[in-house]
Structures are given as C-alpha cells and as structure tokens.
Structure 1
Amino acid sequence: MNMDSFKKDIDELIGEFAKNELTTLADMKRVWLDRKFSYIYEATPSTNQAFFMQSLFARSIDYMVGNDSLSHRLGGLYCLYCLYEVQPHNPPFRVYISLGQLKKLKVLVVDAKAKGINVVPALVKKMLNRNTFLFGAVDLSECSAVETVNQLQEVQNARIQIANEKLFNNTPIESHINMDLGMTIDLDSLKKMSSEYAAAKDLAIGEASKVIDVEDIEHISKGKEPIGDVVQKIADDWNAQKQAFYKQTGLDENEGYDRELEQLLLDHNEDDDDDDESDEE
C-alpha cells in the first residue's frame, strides 16, 4: 500500500502548525479541525490496517523525535495523540515506539517544561496511563514495525482462547487428547516474547519517571503476571486434566481414540453379521 499521500497530509498539517510557531494542544486541535483532518481515516483499507495505522503513527513520531524546531516536534506529538484518539478501531491500534524514540520524547518533555508548556508532560503521562504505547527495543522501518507490533499484540491478546481454539478445531479427538498444549502453542517462544516485552515496558516507565510523575501509572508495569506464565499454567492444567481423563476412562495414553472407535465398530459389525447368519438359519 502506497502511503505517500497520507504522509504528505501529515507533513502539511504539522507544517501549518509549525509555520505559525504554535505550541499548544489547543492550537493543534484548531488546525486539525480547520483541515477536517479526521477524514484521513475515510481511506482506511479493509486489509493491512495495522500497516496503515503504524505508518501514520510512525510519520508523526518522526517529527516528534526529529531535530527540527520545537513547534515541529510538538506538532508531531500532538498529531500522534490526535491520530490515536480519533482512530475508528475498537480496540484501538496502539502506538509502537522504540526505547530510543522514548528517550527523545523525554528530551521533548524537558524542553517543553523549560518553555512553560505544561500541557506536554500532562499529555505524555495521560498517554502512558492509557497504555497507548507498545514499547520495543529497536528503531524499526515501517514494515518491520508492523511485524513487531503484530507479535506484541499476540502476546497481549494470548489468553485462554488458545486452548479453546484447539478444542473446537475440526480435527480428530485423538490429537486433542494426546497433544502437549505447551508444545502445540510454542510456549517457549511466547514466554520469551512476553519477558522481553515486560522488560521493555519496565525500562520505558523508568525513563519516563525521570521527567514526569509516574506514581499513578506504575501499575502498568507492575503486578501483572506475564502472559507466558499464564499460558504455562493453562498448559500444565491441560496436561493434568488429560492425565485425569486417562485414569478415569482406563484409556492408555498411547492408544488413540481413532483406534478405539475403529475396534468398537468392527466388533459391532461382527455382531451384526452373526445375527444375520442366525436369522438365515
């Protein structure tokens, strides 16, 4: 998907904001409304929506962490906030930001506070509190950013439906009884991704705490059990239930349902044949 026209729209929006050396969120909202900028979402594609959204976010972040004037950088931050807030998706697409970009955002907060633009630290704190960001370790191109965001979303969304999906797939019962849930869902990879994301989020909150009060938002990185551990417990419970099933039914773990059912059908057919022979006599 060609994003050039959308990037140009963002360039013109921030360019108009910076041309007049504007600095407040209220200023950006006026420019946004004058240009009817929310219509940018009228062209949202039916596919590749993550690519579309992250491309818009990435363009704004480029301004936010760039080396242009303070108005350009503030325009990037405000544009990013507005793009996130008015997006038509529910749940909303979150904003991928690298730790390097977060450090540059910290510099922007410091510069804004020095100029008395107090809306900036309040806005960044609000975005953190609302869990707007997905934190990553490296700066990424748009394509790889979308891939990474999709992976992080998988970590965030991995819940018990993983087991439910396995249960309700149109596959033989034998595969569900004999499978190791932890192996089937690549638990090691999920736990690794979960741990890496938790570490990145902790570091991000730590960086933010250097320039804004994060006391009210520290819960974002604390007290939540990593999803990898949650799924590990699901897998352990699955395997325990599987063993209990074997014990209660008398089935051997190495004997599949298909073979059991096949034998029952064969026995039933043999009984029918015997009955038919008796009737003929």
Structure 2
Amino acid sequence: MDLSPFKQDIDDLIHEFSEGESLELAAMKKVWLSRKFSYIYEARPSANLAFFMQSLYAHAIGHMVCDASLSHRLGGLYCLYCLHETQPFKPPFRIYLSLGKLMKLKDLVVEAKDKDIKVVAAVVKRMLEKNMFLFGSVEMIEGSVAETLNQLTELQNARVQVAYEKLFSDGKIDDFLHLDLGTEFDVAEMNKLSTEYAQAKKGAIEGASKVVDVQNIKHISIDKQLMSHEVEKIAENWNVQKEAFYRQTGLTQELTDPEQEQMEEQDHDDFDELEQLLLES
C-alpha cells in the first residue's frame, strides 16, 4: 500500500500552516478548510484501515516531535487532532502514542505554556478527555507501521497475561482453571473399583437367581457404562473447554514476567505527569 501521496499532503498542509509562523488552532482550521483537507479520506483503501489511520497519525506525530520551529511542531499537533476528529470511521481509530512521544508532547505543552499559547493545553486536555490516545511502550517507526502493529498485538497479549496473573493467582479461580479432573478423581483407580463392583453385582444376582426369582431385578446386572467412563468423558470435555478458554482469551497456563508490571507503572507515571501539567494550565 503506497501512502506517500497522503504523507505528502500532510507535509504540504503543515508547511503552509508554519510558513506564516502561525501558532493557533484557528489558523490550522483555516488552512485545513481552504485545502478541503478532509477529502484525504475519500481515497482511503478498502482494507487495512487501522494500518492506514496509524500511518497518517504517525506521520503527523513525526512533525509534532521533530526539531523544527515551534510553529511547525504545533502544526503537527493540530493536524493530528484534526485527522482524528474528521475521520469517517465509527468507532474512531485511536492515536497510538509511545512513551517517548508522550514525553515529547509534554515538552511541547510546557513550551507553549511558557509562550502563553493557551490553546495547546486546551487541545491536549480535550484529546485526553475524549480518550483519543492509545498509550504504549513501542515506538512507531516511520515506514514500518505494519511491523509496529504486530508488536502492539504482542504487547497487548503480554498485558492480558499480567491481568490474568493479578486476577487468577492464588485463588479458587486459578485452581479451577488448572484443574485436571482425570488426576483429581484418579480415573484409573475409579475404573478398577467400578469394574470390580460391576462384576460383584453381576455375580450376586446370578447366585441369587438359583434360589429366588430375580426377574424383576435382573436388569440391574446388565452391563452399562461404568461410572469411571462417565467421569473420564467429563474430564476430557473439561480439558477441551479449558483449551477453548485459553485460545479465546489469548492466555496460557504460564504466568508472565513481573517486568511487565514495571512497564505498566511507568506508562501511568508519564500519563499522570502530563495530566497534572494540564490541570495547572
């Protein structure tokens, strides 16, 4: 999928905005409307829409965190905001933002605050309130969005594992999830006892038939499914259900490395720092 024309459009939009050394969102909206920039979605692909949107977002973020002028970087932020708000998708695609880019965004807010550009804090605060961002630890490298999305999937699976560990460890639910009914009930021993019982029952009824009429109870001695076989079936079905659960949730029976929890804590710390900064604005 060649996205270079879309990226060039974003480059031209931000260049026109920064050419006049504009700093306000209103100026970006004027440029956006004059170029009818929302039509960028008219040529969108019919498939891989997540890849398409994250590519646009990543390109705008690249402008936002580069070493260019403040006007240029603000153009990247405003473009990112407008791309999210004008997208035609329901529900809207959220903006993936790595921890490194989150810190760059925080620095941009601080710089804008020092220059008394109040709209920047207002825009970022609105983006946070509307839950536009999807925070993570993987860097979105330009030109390798597909690879990054795969890394995000792996990261999400790891986070599910952390949630699994916190939810199920050292509890009754964990005992049930890992329960092996075949071992718990000792099917082999039960099969031995059931067979011996069936044989004893049959022998007793045959012996009694020589003395009394056992016609009414003779059906008891007819061989049926042994109880141990029924338990074995239940155990097999239980194992099938467990495997289905693991497949559907992406969980495994192995717990994850506690380093994942540290990554989660760092994520929240950086987010809280930015949130506090915005509250002070």
TM above 0.5, one fold? yes
Tell me, yes or no, if structure 1 residue 33 matches structure 2 residue 33. yes
CA 108–28 in structure 1, closer or farther in 2 if over 3 Å, else same: same
Q: Deviations over 1:96-153 (max 9, x none)?
A: 1111011111110011111111011111111111111111113132223333455678
1:190 CA drift (Å): 11
Letter in 2 for 1:37: F
Q: 1:59 aligns to what?
A: 59
Q: Tell me the distance in 1 between the aligned counterparts of 2:96 and 2:245.
A: 28
User: Which of 189, 202, 205 pairs up with 2:268?
Assistant: 202
1:124 equivalent in structure 2: 124
* Residue number in structure 2 paired with 1:42: 42
Q: Is the 8 A contact 1:63 1:72 kept in 2?
A: yes
Q: Give the 3 Å change call, closer, same or farther, for CA 57–155 of structure 1 in structure 2.
A: farther
- Identify unmatched segments of 5+ residues in structure 1: 158-173, 215-281
Within 1, Cα distance between the matches of 2:134 and 2:66? 20
CA contact (8 A) 2:94 2:133 kept: yes
Structure-2 separation of matches of 1:190 and 1:102? 32
- The one of 165, 172, 183 aligned to 2:246: 183
Query: 1:155 and 1:129 mapped to 2: Cα distance?
Result: 26
Question: Which consecutive unaligned segments of at least 5 residues does structure 2 have?
Answer: 161-234
State whether residues 136 and 197 of structure 1, in contact with CA within 8 Å, keep that contact through their aligned partners in structure 2. no
Amino acid at match of 1:7: K
Identity %: 48
Whichever residue aligns with residue 83 of structure 1, its letter is L
Work out the CA distance in 2 between the residues paired with 1:42 and 1:14. 20
Name the aligned partner's letter for residue 92 of structure 1: P
Taking the aligned partners of 2:137 and 2:264, their CA distance within structure 1 comes to 11
2:96 matched to 1:96? yes
Shift of 1:206: 2.0
Cα-Cα RMSD: 3.1
Contact 2:60–2:77 (CA under 8 A) maintained in structure 1: yes
| Helix, strand or coil at the partner of 1:12 | helix
Q: CA deviation at 1:90?
A: 0.6
Rg larger in 1 or in 2? 2
Match of 1:146 in 2: 149
* Contact 1:14–1:72 (CA under 8 A) maintained in structure 2: yes
Q: Which of 1 and 2 has higher RCO (CA within 8 Å, sep 6+)?
A: 2
Q: How many angstroms apart in 2 are the aligned matches of 1:154 and 1:130?
A: 25
- Residue deviations 1:238-272 (CA, integer Å, cap 9, x gap): xxxxxxxxxxxxxxxxxxxxxxxxxxxxxxxxxxx
Q: How many residues align?
A: 200
1:154 and 1:32, CA in 2 relative to 1: closer, same or farther beyond 3 A? farther
In structure 1, give the amino acid aligned to 2:52.
F
Query: Is it true that 1:9 corresponds to 2:75 in the alignment?
Result: no
Whole-angstrom CA distance in 1 between matches of 2:236 and 2:47: 33
SS in 2 for 1:187: coil
* Mapped pair 1:76 → 2:140: no
Asked if the contact 2:138–2:148 (Cα under 8 Å) also holds between the matched residues in 1, the reply is no
> Could you tell me whether the CA contact under 8 Å between 2:65 and 2:104 is conserved in 1?
yes
Are the equivalent residues in 1 in contact too, given 2:138–2:152 (CA < 8 A)?
A: no
2:278 is aligned to 212
Shift of 1:205: 1.8
Q: State the TM-score, normalized to the length of structure 2.
A: 0.63
Secondary structure of the residue aligned to 2:21 is coil
* Aligned equivalents of 2:95, 2:270: Cα separation in 1: 14
Residues 96 and 149 in structure 1, CA contact (< 8 A), matched pair in contact too: no
Instruction: After superposing the two structures, state which structure 1 stretch, 175-184 or 75-84, moved more.
Output: 175-184
Match of 2:231 in 1: none
The answer as to 2:176 corresponding to 1:113 is no
Residues 190, 144 of structure 1: alpha-carbon distance in 2 compared, 3 angstrom cutoff: farther
Secondary structure, aligned partner of 2:277 = coil
